[in-house]
Structure formats: C-alpha cells, structure tokens
Structure 1
Amino acid sequence: MTAPAPEVTAPGAGRTAVRSRPLLLAAVAVCAACGLIYELVLLTLSASLVGGGITQTSLIVAGFVAALGVGALLVKPFLASAAVTFVAVEILLGVAGGLSAVTLYVSFSFYGTSSAVLLVATAVLGILVGAEVPLLMTLLQTGRTGIDAEGSGKLLADLNAADYAGALLGGLAWPFILLPLAGQVRGAALTGLVNLLAAAVVAGLLLRRQMGTRARRTATAALLVAAAGLAVLLVRAQDIETTARQRLYADPVVAAGRSDYQEIVLTERSGDLRLYLDGDLQFSSVDEHRYTEALVHPALARDPERVLILGGGDGLAAREVLRHPSVREVVQVELDPQVIALARTRLAALNDSAFDDPRVEVVQDDAFRWLRSPAATGFDAVIVDMPDPDTPVLGRLYSTEIYGLVSAALAPDGLVTVQAGSPYSTPTAFWRTVSTLDAAGLAATPYHVHVPSFGDWGFAVAQRGPRPPDLALSPAAPATRFLDEAVLDAAGVFPADRPRQRLAPSTLDRPLIVEDMRGGYTG
C-alpha cells in the first residue's frame, strides 16, 4: 500500500493551526472520551453476553492496549497526510464504535456466542483509537518551526493531559449517564455520533486549510452517511433489541428491561411464566414450588420466628416462609430494585404479594454489605437464594467470607440453607459450595431434588459447630405440594457416580467456584 500524497497546505495554515490549538486539544479530549467508552461498551457486553469473568476482561483490556500500539505503528505511513487521515479514522471509529453493541448483541442472539466478534471488535476499535495520538501529535505541531526538546515535551504534556481528561469524562459518562439512560445499543450509537461530530468540527473549523476541496467534500459526504446510519440505529434500536432478544428465548417475551445490575426478562406461554436474569433462568411457574419448598422448609425445621432471606428478589422464598406458622418477622435483602418492583407487580399473583405482608421488611442492599451492619444478628433461620456464581461478582456471594458473615447473623440454634447448583451438571461447583460452608464454620448437609426446568438441583442446610444438622421438616410445617419427609430423606442420598468431593473453599482472594461453573459438566 502506498501512502497518499501530502495535502496541499494553503498559505497561513500554520498560523491558523497555532491559533486553533486549544480547540484541537478539546477535540483530543472528546476523542479520548469516545475511545474509552468504546472499551467500556466491550467490557459491559462481555459481562452480559459471555459471562465477563476475569479472563474475558483481561483479554479485552490487554487486547485493546496491544491494538493501540498496532494502530500507532500502522498509521506512520499516513502522517504526511495527517488531516485527511485523522478525519477518516474518526469516521471509521464513529461507525465501528457506534455499531459495536448492536453487532455483538445480534450475533449473540443468532449464534449463541459473540466471543469471536468481541475479539474482532476489540482489535478494530483499539487500532483506530491507537492511530489517533500520532495523528493528533502531528497536527498539533503543524506550523511550529524550530521546536526544541522542551517544546516537544510541553506539547506532549498538553496532548496527554487532554487525552487523560477526556478518558475521565468517558469513564464517568458510560456508567452514570449513557448506560442507565440510553442502554448499551443506544449508548454506543450516541457515542459514535459524538465521535462523528468531533470529526466534523475538526474538519470544518480547524483543518479546512489543510484539506483540499475534494477531500473536504468526500469527508462531508462520509460524515453525513455515517451520521444517518447511526441516527437510524437510534430510532430502530428498540425494534432491533426486541427482535434479537426474542430469538434468545423459546417463549414469547412479555416484559423486558435492564436495571443497573442485569437484564431482566419475563416470558410466558400457556400459563408458564419464566424469569430470566442476564439470560439465566431463575424459575418456571410450572415447577418453581419444587425448588422453593426444597430451599425454604429445611431451614424452618426448628420453627423460627425471625428469618433472613438473602437474594430471592422474586418473592417466592418469602411466600413460602410466610406460610410457616411460627414466623413473626422476615427481612428480605435484595440488591436490584427493579426485581423488587417486578415481585410487587407482575409476580405478585405467584408470590402471594409476599412483600406487602406487614411481617416482611424489604431491604434494598448488597447482601455482603448488609451482613456487616448491626441489624444482621439474631436470626433463627437464613435462606441464601443467590444466582449461580458464574461471574466474579456473583462468586463472592459463595465465598468463605460471606458464609462467615451468615454464621455471625445466625442465632445459636439457627439453620441456614443455600442453593448450591446442580450436583449432576456442575458437581465441582456444588461440592465446592458445601466445602466452603464447612470452611466458614457452618457444618453442612447436602441434598438434592429434581426440578424439571433445572434438572437435578442441589442445596445445603447448615448450622454452627462441627456436627451437620439432620434433614428434617417441622411438625408444624404447612402442607406442601412436593416436599415431604419421604422426599427429603431421599434427597440426602447421592448416587455413586456423584460422590461427595472434599475441595478447597472458594474465597474472595481465590474465587474457585467461578471457574468450577465455567467448567460446566464433568462426567
């Protein structure tokens, strides 16, 4: 490939460039903000589409940084035509970045994965962002003669300061403005439009004397076409998301939204209402009673008065707890207010309006944080109903540290139950949970039942001290649809092909359970 011929610089271009330097530095800040937002878009999509663990995050961050260097090298032959090249790079970056979220989302909905597209997007965006700094450095020096080492250092300092200031703005704008107000697809598209606007300002106000007539016309046409494309995406984003989302679910989507923490989707077909969080099934109304009864009633075997529920924002565990005649107080700790709102509305018929019961105190807080508060003490039973630990954020909710806090919240004779995943599909993760409870001083008794929507599903009931509790139901327990003494006795038996494993505990420092979940089925 041959480099384009140098632009013809009109008389006075150097003086204009010097006077325009503050505006060019402002453009540097805007471009830096957009570049960081694109990286954050990739990280956000990595978390929501492919799990987003430390490995995936490291690959994106390291790949993006490496691509910055590649972009800086690839642009060297084009520095003689810095103005035209810069505008071209910004147009490409605005389009690629603006379309990144919708491309990843649609590819995931059609093919069930976006890892390859994610890596390609990381490389492309990183290369384009990496090309910006050499181009801007060249543009900032245009018209300066006799620049010495000190002058070069000051110029580089100005460039870096503008670049880092822009990165700060982008880092704040994505989580606090764009993502909550516009969502991933629209947020990326809006950033792309800002990128195009910055390119238009630079081309029209700052670099017009360094660009020939033909170059200006071509840049204008390209900017208009790119902006029109992103504008269409902004208008049609909802339709695209709805169509792509529906492809992910077998049943019709009846409600969907994104909270600050996760994507929330409800589907329904023939009376079967299903809740998904970040694509993971939380319950099916057809068989949720099996899961809920198995999780809740072993914890109530000693007729508790005060019960703590961690997670379980759908209200199903609270419904079952409130049916027990001894219960006088329930504290429900759930992080996501949108899940709580869903429990009070669309799920109210299923959970018997549990959160409106005067015995229930709903606390919107992180379980880890709340357990360290003075209120977290003296509970006769604790029920831990957390999503599967397939990300580091969720992995900390299955750690020795949190189970130690749960132990401290228990009354001396209290019981705790934990949903522990499938002893059949993810046996290592299941037994890791049991071992982690033991390591936290909560002697655990594992058990499992069949839930058609999930398959063979496991739990653990535990108490303080060296001796694990027996699997039992209270004589005062209410009538249940599924769980009785015979079923519970059988639940404590594990087949020979799924024997108990003694494993190292999962901790905050070493969240082993996250990798266990990613390992999936082991035969």
Structure 2
Amino acid sequence: MEPPPLEPPALGRRARVLLLAAVAACAACGLVYELALLTLSASLTGGGITETSLIVAGFVAALGLGALAAKPLLPHAAPVFVGVEVALGLVGGVSAAALYVAFTFLGSSTWVLVVATAAIGMLVGAEVPLLMTLLQTGRATDARDTGKVLANLNAADYAGALIGGLAWPFLLLPFAGLIRGAALTGMVNLCAAAVAALFLLRGHLRPAARALSLVALLLAAALLGGLLVNSSDIETTSRQRLYPDPIMFAQQSQYQEIVVTDRGGEVRLYLDGDLQFSSTDEHRYTETLVYPALSRDPERVLVLGGGDGLVAREALRQSAVREVVQVELDPAVLELGNTQLRDLNGGALQDERVTVVVADAFRWLRDRTGGGFDAVIVDLPDPDTPALGRLYSTEFYGLAAAALNPGGLLAVQSGSPYSTPDAYWRTVSSVSSAGLGVTPYHVHVPSFGDWGFVLAQAGSPPALELSATAAPRRFLDPATLDAAAIFPPDRPRLDLEPSTLDRPRIVDDMRRGYQR
C-alpha cells in the first residue's frame, strides 16, 4: 500500500521573497498581455468603446472565474501553479500573433479576442489563491499573519502590474512590436515558472511532477522561440493580405501601424489600415484642402496633422507664405515624410520656412504661446477611434479658431459626404458650433470617392475662391471650386448635433457609415 503523501515543507524567508518576486514578474506579464490585446483591438478594429469594454470587463470577470476554478486544485498548489504559468506564458505569448493572423486571413478577430481575453484572465485569476496556499503551506498562521501574507502578495502583484504597464508602451511595443513583444513577455513568464519549479518549489513537487514541468517548459519555450524567429515572416505574410499592392515599408510606431505600398510607381500610405493617399490622385485632395484656405494670401500657416508633408508642399508654393508650422503627433510619420515620401512632398518638411512640432494637436493648441496664424489647415486621419474623435470636436475647433488672426481661414478635411454622410455633416456642425461661419464643399478623389471639406471663418460663411496669385494647379480651378459647393439631392445637408469631448458622436457616425 502506497504511503500517504508527506506535507510539503514551509517556504523559508528567502524562498518567500523570491516567490513574491516571481509573482511581480508574472503580474507584469499578465498586464502586458491585456495591454497587447487593447493595442491590437485599436489597430485591427479601431479600438472603440465596445471592444475596449469587452477586453477590460471580460478580463476582470475572467479573473474571478479563474480564482473559483482554482479552488478544487489548491491541495496540489505547487504543480498547478507551475502549470498555470507555463500555460499563461504560452497563451499570452502567442495571443498577438493569433489575433493578427486571424484578422488578416479571416477578416474578423473578435472571437479570437474574446477567447484570448477569457483564457488569459482565468489563468491570471488562478494565480492568487494558488500563491496564497503556497505561502501559507506548513506555517501556523492566525488572521493577522494571513493579512500580512495577503498584503505582501497584493503589493508584489501591483508592483509587477506597474512594471508591465510601463514596459509595454515605452520598451516592448516601440522596440519589439506587437507580435515579438507578446512573445518576449511569454518567455519572461516561462522563466518565472522555471525558477519556481526548479528552485523555489522544488520541495513541493514530486520528481515526476518536476520532470513533467521541465518538459512542458522546454516545449513552450521552443514554440515561443520559433515564433520569435519567424515573427517577421508571419507578420509580413499576414500584413500583405491586407493590402492589394506590394509593401515597400512597414513600421509599428508608438501610435499606429504605418504601411507604404508601391505598384508601378503608384505609392499609397496607410495608417492602421486606412488609406491616407495615393500618389496618382493625392493632388486632387491636397489642392482642394489647401488652396481655398490660402485664398487671402496668408503669411503664417498652421498645419495640424499632415505629417506626410503634402499639405506643407502646397502651402510653400504660395508666394505670400513666409512660415509654415507643422504639428504632427507621430515622429515616425515625419521621418517617413523625410525619407520614403520625400520625392512626393518635394522635401517640404526640411524647408527653412517650415517649423516642425512633434506634439498632440489638441494639447498644442491649448498650450500654445505666440501670435496667431492667417490660415489653419486640419489634415487629420478619419475619426474612427475615440482618440481621433476628440480632434473632431467642438472644443478642438474652438481652439483652432482661437489660433486664427482676424480674417483668417480654417480648412478641415471632413470625410466622405457619400460613404459616411453622418460623419461629414457632423463635422460641419461641430465646426459651426465653435462659433464659425462654415462653407461645406466636396470633390471626387478616385482613391477615396466623393470627399468632403469645410472652410470656415469667424462671422459669416466664407466664399470659396482662389487667390489671384495662387500657384499653378493640376486639378482645382475656379469652375471646379464653384461646383464643389453643390451637393446632389441624394446627399442633402443634414442638421446634426455637434460632436463634443463629452459626446463623441462622430466616432459612431464613422462606424455606421463604413458598415453601410
């Protein structure tokens, strides 16, 4: 008859400290996985309130389910804890790659997002009851000692979460990217599991359990190592499926995924999968946005967004312009404008008349000092996320209007009055609600379809006209500009409530339009 199992020995003080350090490392990994899911949600699906709430609330709910699921396993806390950490390192490490591949090959990754959130949350949730059991095994404790153990455990857990929260945006994402960053985090998780299994909990594991743990660790590490080695090929193959043309440049910046394609000399720029321009017809878009705002021969021009340098290129062609201040959030886009896109923008961003400011446009407008501008041109990505939605709000346009000198003009790219009519007319209403007279207009840009803009000024709606000294243009002439102010009966003007910081209605407008 097999003798009953011996009671595992109590952990020594040094072992408890090291185990708490492992707890901190695992907590850091758990938070990195959650942040990676949120980042992927933003990149792949726009990261709206629904997706963000699904991840955050689903993760928290899964923590509770994981803690409950661990209750029957507490008598075997040591081997179960090692198994949980191996599984967490493996699932979390491959989650980013799985989501990316699912999105690019299947067209939807919501179900993978739900499964990954639930799996990671349950594994993280199982850690605390298992660790509490391990830290108290073999010790005679009262309520006060239990409280101290829980305080130490929570402190290590929260400290690790802080480390993970800082490591993801400042270290892993910018230097390793989404797929490699998650895989590297999985490796850290496996290292913590290895230290626990082979050293800290050695006396709590039978030889067979230690051998099984070692095999599982090696297999998981081999899988994640293979993912790290082949991540570039996986990412390249998956990404290419999203774009119709060969990719000549791709980078995940701190803010967005930047992709440039080139087929037969047609260069296209995509930010988070959204087309920003095609070199074959960008002149239609750029001229229509820029030249009405320059009709009064401004000397100082402010460009918000437009880090590709195309708006600055056209502004510098106007003989009256003496200074262009270019405000762009993402330095990676500016670097692209000075390298891959330099031939298209004519080196505008390096012109001595251009002052480049790397800053958030909203914050920069709020905190700016100095004189006003004779023209402000807003060339920002479409507001399909809450972060971008605030740049299409009444408050933002109020700040932009405050930057204008008397008689200055504001021009805003406003999306498609055909594909996303609610979002377009919402922008018109939001600009108007900032106390400006507005003139909506639109033209056909083959790459985008029917595309709309807003010209605004303090007081009455401004006239759509060109300066007598306007530089030669390939597309925009007075007749085309006159026609741009006419909207057909099937796309009439809509009177909508403005979008504000408190109610970013335009984000939902964009999504409804795309779904149609």
Same fold judged by TM-score > 0.5?
yes
Q: What's the counterpart of residue 511 of structure 1?
A: 504
Structure 2 residue identity aligned to 1:512: R
Residue aligned with 2:430, SS: helix
Q: Secondary structure at the match of 1:193?
A: helix
What is the one-letter code of the residue matched to 2:108?
A: T
The answer for the alignment partner of 1:66 in structure 2 is 61
Match of 2:329 among 324, 335, 347: 335
The yes-or-no answer on 1:469 pairing with 2:466 is no
Where does structure 1 lack aligned partners over 5 or more consecutive residues? none
Alignment correspondent of 1:266? 260
1:134-145 superposed matches below 5 A:
134-145=129-140
**Tell me, what secondary structure is at the counterpart of 1:372?**
helix
How do 1:244-283 residues align onto structure 2 when only pairs under 5 Å count? 244-283=238-277
Code of the aligned partner of 2:399:
L
Offset of 1:375 from its aligned partner? 3.8
Matched, 1:119 2:114: yes
Residue in structure 1 matched with residue 404 of structure 2 by the alignment: 410
2:39 to 30, 44, 47: 44
Compared CA separation, residues 374 and 172, structure 1 to 2 (3 A): closer
Q: Which amino acid aligns with 1:497?
A: D
Match of 1:489 in 2: 482
1:107 alignment counterpart: 102
Distance 1:86 1:321 in 2: 62
Q: Match of 1:502, as an amino acid?
A: D
Q: Distance in 2 between matches of 1:90 and 1:51?
A: 31
TM-score by length of 2: 0.97
Contact 1:72–1:133 (CA under 8 A) maintained in structure 2 = yes
Equivalenced residue count is 515
CA distance in 1, matches of 2:397, 2:219: 56
CA distance in 2: counterparts of 1:99 and 1:132, whole angstroms: 20
Question: Match of 1:310?
Answer: 304
Mapped pair 1:32 → 2:19: no
Residue of structure 1 equivalent to 2:165 = 171
Worse overlay, 94-103 or 17-26? 17-26
SS in 2 for 1:412: strand
RMSD: 1.6
1:349 alignment partner, SS class: helix
- 8 Å Cα contact 2:373-2:408 kept in structure 1: yes
CA distance in 1, matches of 2:110, 2:231: 22
Please state whether the residue corresponding to 1:130 is helix, strand or coil: helix
Return closer, same or farther for 1:482/1:7 CA change in 2, 3 Å cut-off: farther
Deviations 1:139-189 (A, max 9, x none): 1111112x2111211111111111111111111111111111111111111
Residues 328, 334 of structure 2: 8 Å contact kept: yes
For residues 216 and 3 of structure 2, the distance between their equivalents in structure 1, rounded to whole angstroms, comes to 21
Tell me the secondary structure at the aligned position of residue 34 of structure 1.
helix
2:126 paired with 1:131: yes
Q: Give the match's secondary structure for 1:298.
A: coil
Q: 1:376 to 1:135 in 2, by over 3 A?
A: same
Letter matched to residue 68 of structure 2 = L
Q: Can you list the C-alpha shifts for 1:340-375, whole angstroms capped at 9, x where unaligned? A: 111111111111111222221111111112213444
- Percent identity (aligned): 68
Task: Write the deviation string for residues 194-252 of structure 1: whole angstroms up to 9, x where unpaired.
Answer: 11111111111121222111111111001001011111111111111111111111100
Q: CA-to-partner distance for each residue in 1:296-326, whole Å, 9 max, x for gaps?
A: 0110111111111111111111111111122
| Matching of residues 13-24 of structure 1 within 5 Å | 13-16=8-11, 20-24=15-19
Note the C-alpha offset of 1:477. 1.4
Counterpart Cα distance in 1 of 2:299 and 2:152: 65
Picking from 421, 441, 444, the partner of 2:435 is: 441
Following the alignment from structure 2 to structure 1, what is the Cα–Cα distance between the partners of residues 205 and 281? 68
> In structure 2, what residue type is equivalent to 1:491?
A
Mapped partners of 1:174, 1:329: distance in 2: 38
SS in 2 for 1:267: strand
1:431, distance to aligned residue in structure 2 (A): 0.4
User: Alpha carbons of 1:501 and 1:215: their partners in 2 closer, same or farther (altered >3 Å)?
Assistant: same
Q: How much does 1:8 deviate?
A: 3.2
More deviation, 82-91/323-332: 323-332
For the Cα contact (< 8 Å) 1:6–1:80, is it kept in 2? no
Gaps of 5+ in 2: none
Q: Distance in 2 between matches of 1:422 and 1:203?
A: 58
Contact 1:109 1:245 survives alignment (8 Å)? yes
Q: Shift in Å at residue 521 of structure 1? A: 4.8
In the TM superposition, 1:299-448 aligns within 5 A as 299-375=293-369, 377-448=371-442
